[in-house]
Structure 1
Amino acid sequence: MKTEQNNKNTSNRRDFIKTSAIAAAAFMIVPRHVLGGPGYLAPSDRLLVAGIGVGGKGESDLNMFYKSGKADIAFLCDVDDRRAANSVKAFPKAKYYKDWREMLDKEHKNFDAVSVSTPDHNHAIQALAAMQLGKHVYVQKPLTHDIYEARILTAAAKKYKVVTQMGNQGASNDGPRQMKEWYEAGLIGDVHTVYAWTNRPVWPQGIPWPDKKAEIPKELDWNLWLGTAPEKDYVDKLVPFNWRGWWDYGTGALGDMGCHLIEAPFSVLNLKYAKEVEASVGSVYVDEFKRGYFPESCPPSSHVTLKFPKTSKTKGDVTLHWMDGGIQPERPEELEANETFGDGGNGTLFIGTKGKMMSETYSANPKLLPLSRNKDIKVAPKYARVPEGANGHYKQWVEAAIAGYGKQEVSSPFEIAGPLTEALLMANLAIRSFDIQKTVNGKTSYPGRYTKMLWDNDNMKVTNFDEANQFVKREYRKGWNNLTL
């Protein structure tokens, strides 16, 4: 009996040890946010990232997260196998999905954060779904396609207490911090006017939608690519790049470059929400005195004027001019004939009561004007720099996500990126209003042209031209739920 009892005890101990080991192993592979609740990660852990949109910019974003040395790429999702190929090869252990909804549904317990790098029209629905699962999110610029979406994501970041970052990496450059220090030291006085300009678009715009549908590549799930956008036939030369020039999917040159060039004015002057906007756009003529009408396409060029109310950093309103399509502001008289304005094709110019300063794309290489002033600047650094500047933007988010919500600062959280994106989309609202048609008794007019739009920020609406409000919030395609917090 003793022997039998001893054998039984030994067996029980073995079963206990075996069971405990299995339980311990299972415990160890669960992401630490499960143990500490949404937004929590132990500082000793690596961040487990799931990528939605893993080709092109998505591919480079994932590589930068991995190169931080503190992140692992756990899951990959893309609607186009061709675009995903490099990431699949680079991260062979990452499980691959085509439908981001399926990935979030099946795998949300197995990762901590999500990178969104898809066409603009799907950013918001993908990011919000991840945030509602308690996932930290990194979203490519522009944050959203619509003003309403930007407002929702800004509120969601606070509600769900997750670490957020928009992919305007110039926000982590030294430039914005240096310009803040110069401005606060009084080197250019009180800024009242800002210009930002770009040579983009570098894709077709101001053109009619193709009238010939094409065969859908077998590697592409066209329905998933469309996502929230209206149902349309597949056409050539839309995927993977030129969608930027079509309003159903992209946000034009403003969406592409605005976050890089207008970030510095927001940072330096503490701008938030515009109160007025007006626009003029470039024309495309298809015959003698016959202007082309292509409302589905962004225009070839535009000049938009936004007015922002007085902030804690200014003495009065600030007027911000945006120019694209190669249009540039008048060259400052302080800049000599052969000195480069901005970086040539792009730049930002601050005009103050005592002087001017300018920067390049990503707020890089800020300079006082005239350039001779830069030889003897004696302003002590006041704001901490991000290690590696723009390249450190990714690691900054990874480390902040590991630390947990509210523990570490990031350069472009949604509380900053949301209002910045809204400014760009306000500009687009004015641009799109340019093509609103009204026909009465056979006569066509364009009431949105040459009109200053007055903005009620609290209610998110234009108060003096109601037709423009259709661009504040769009209806998603059937089967794709509209955003709700």
Structure 2
Amino acid sequence: MEDKKISHGDGTSRREFVKSAAIAAAGFMIVPRYVLGGKGYTAPSDKLIIAGVGVGGKGQSDIANFYKSGKAEIAFLCDVDDRRAAASVKAFPQAKYYKDWRKMFDKEHKHFDAVSVSTPDHNHAIITLAAMQQKKHVYVQKPLTHDIYEARALTEAAKKYKVVTQMGNQGASNDGPRKMKEWYDAGLIGDVHTVYAWTDRPVWPQGIPWPGTKGSVPAELDWDLWLGTAPYKEYVDKLVPFNWRGWWDYGTGALGDMGCHLIEAPFSVLNLKYATDVQASVGSVYVDEFKRGYFPESCPPSSHVTLTFPKTDKTKGPVTLHWMDGGIQPERPEELGANDVFGDGGNGTLFIGTKGKLMCSTYSDNPRLLPLSRNENIQVAEKYKRVPGQAEGHYGQWVEACIAGYGKNELSSPFEIAGPLTEALLMANLAIRGFDVKKPRPQGGFDYPGRYIKLLWDNANMRVTNFDEANQYVKREYRKGWSLGV
């Protein structure tokens, strides 16, 4: 009987072992440049050797784009679900396959240079930090992490271990952010004091109770590994591969999914870093025909969050940033025609300055001054270097930077930028989750002290100073047996 291509255990089939032995006997082996290294060493191949963790869906397209750059080899694949991994296994038949990233790191760390991480949000940090501790360059899907503490830890680790990093908000490599920076620097809209970002997400279930019926774990899925750092729960149908986004144990809601794409532009244009305070209002759902309610395990169906950022070197004062999801949108600017598209319809970002307004679509695409007639004769010199291929070039940019080495090449979304951006989104989620913190009343029922207040943020200590109950979401407790390792 022929060996199966997908194997478990030590990650290789008999056929692969024989093939590997033959290659070794012929005197050729893929070895990362740092192993052969030494100061000034030039590798015989200028290709980056990559291991992918989470190689279905977005992870599949990520590694395909690395390979498309022409300067990367996909040497290892890892996924807890054989069904999701199947397309990548077929596309990269030479790659050795694992189910457990820990085993892959332990056995193969000498044989790859970099790691691509595209798992559900709750496992991003633990995989990424483990890779950096082995001096691997990392590309991580957005949002960078599930918790604020994790984002800060990865930002600091990137500097400590001197590895090349990039978050998967590919719009950061578009021409749009660079063009908007040039327009803003030229004073076309004056000083920005207010920004709106909005999305029609979620497009998955939110604001619902946890399913009461246990499902049957598919044979191809290792459910315990999928859970990873999250609390143990019995498997339920339709959670995998996509609907986990709406549950706090695993996902970060609409903010985590779209915030890195829609708030990247104001971070880039205005040099925003860490917010000082946050407040929110959220949509509720009908529990029955007489009352509305919230389900604390699930992200709400809609929200409006307001963040305050301190003055930067690009602004004259603080900046107020509004985030809206669930289809909520800001009031249409009076300069926009009644039938003109606001953003790209369902999503967009709007800058309000002292001399004008500027909007763009998802991924910072199609920036336009308002009124739209102002775009007919814009004459501003290009001063920010463009990324070849724009969003598609985001992947090759990281590959090239890894080959060049730490600190050599400019990146669009390294952790020094992606970390603070992710923290802002997760701060917004602190306010959203604070709605569900409840305290029993002596006379019966509950109070919800986190609602309708502004959370004040101590950035240095990563703490909310005026509502301690929210701090439980800054750094969650991992399931027994899992540790971030810092």
TM exceeding 0.5: yes
In structure 2, give the amino acid aligned to 1:467: E
Q: Secondary structure at the match of 1:49?
A: strand
Offset from partner CA, 1:175-218 (integer Å, 9 cap, x none)? 00000000000000000000000000000000000011111000
The equivalences for 1:198-209 within 5 A come to 198-209=199-210
CA RMSD, 1 decimal? 1.7
1:265 match: 266
Matched, 1:167 2:186: no
Output the amino acid matched with 1:462: V
From the superposition, tell whether residues 25 and 457 of structure 1 become closer, same or farther in structure 2 (CA, over 3 Å): farther
1:139-150 paired onto structure 2 within 5 Å: 139-150=140-151
Residues 40 and 405 in structure 1, CA contact (< 8 A), matched pair in contact too: no
Distance 2:270 2:360 in 1: 15
Distance 1:404 1:63, change over 3 A: same
CA contact (8 A) 1:40 1:403 kept: no
Provide the residue aligned with 2:257 in structure 1.
256
Pairing 1:49-198 to 2, within 5 Å after superposition: 49-198=50-199
Q: Displacement, 1:290?
A: 1.6
Whether the 8 Å contact between 2:118 and 2:124 is mirrored in structure 1 is: yes
Q: Is 1:462 the equivalent of 2:441?
A: no
The amino acid that maps onto 1:224 is L
Q: Deviations over 1:407-456 (max 9, x none)?
A: 10110000000000000000001000011110031231100100100000
Residue in structure 1 matched with residue 446 of structure 2 by the alignment: 444
- Structure 2 residue 278 is matched with structure 1 residue 297: no
Deviation readout 1:359-394 (Å, 9 max, x if unpaired): 000000000000000001010101000001000000
Structure 2 vs 1, CA of residues 338 and 116 (structure 1 numbering), >3 Å: closer, same or farther?
same
User: Helix, strand or coil: the match of 1:398?
Assistant: helix
- 1:23 to 1:434, Cα distance in 2 relative to 1, 3 A: closer
Q: Give 2:355's aligned amino acid.
A: K
Whether the aligned pair in 2 keeps the contact of 1:39 and 1:404 (CA below 8 Å) is no
CA drift at 1:289: 3.5
Residues 367 and 39 from structure 1, CA distance in 2 versus in 1: closer, same or farther, beyond 3 angstroms?
farther
The residue aligned with 1:229 is: 230
Residue 481 of structure 1 deviates from its aligned partner by: 1.3
Give me the whole-angstrom Cα distance separating, in 2, the residues matched to 1:335 and 1:202: 27
**Aligned-pair CA distance for 1:25:** 7.2
SS at match of 1:124: helix
Point out where structure 1 has 5 or more consecutive residues left out of the alignment: 1-21
- Corresponding letter in the other structure for 2:231: P
Q: Which residue of structure 1 aligns with residue 478 of structure 2? A: 476
Alignment of 1:386-405 (within 5 A): 386-405=387-406
CA distance in 1, matches of 2:154, 2:129: 7
CA positional deviation for 1:330? 0.3
The answer to whether the 8 A contact 1:475-1:482 is kept is: no
Aligned to 1:220: 221
Does structure 2 retain, via aligned residues, the 8 Å contact 1:43–1:403? no
Q: Contact 2:198–2:329 at 8 Å: present in 1 too?
A: yes
What code does the residue aligned with 2:130 have?
A
Amino acid in the other structure paired with 1:180: K
Structure-2 separation of matches of 1:483 and 1:145: 16
Question: What is aligned with 1:361?
Answer: 362
Q: Partners of 1:142 and 1:38 in 2: how far apart?
A: 35
2:346 is matched with 345
Q: Quick check: 2:194–2:351 contact (8 Å CA) kept in 1?
A: yes
Cα deviations across residues 273-296 of structure 1 (Å, max 9, x unaligned)? 000000000010122332223000
Structure 2: distance between partners of 1:77 and 1:24: 27
Matches of 1:29 and 1:121, distance apart in 2: 32
Please tell me whether the aligned partners of residues 196 and 346 of structure 1 are also in contact (alpha carbons under 8 angstroms). Answer: yes
Aligned length: 463
Deviations 1:203-236 (A, max 9, x none): 0000000011111000000000000000100000
Query: Does the 8 A contact of 1:41 with 1:402 survive in 2?
Result: no
In structure 1, C-alpha distance between the alignment counterparts of 2:189 and 2:294, rounded to whole Å = 43
8 Å contact from structure 1 (residues 120, 251) kept in 2: yes
For residue 61 of structure 1, give the secondary structure of its aligned residue in structure 2. helix
CA distance in 1, matches of 2:254, 2:44: 39
Letter of the aligned partner of 1:164 in structure 2?
Answer: T
Q: Is the 8 A contact 2:129 2:484 kept in 1?
A: no
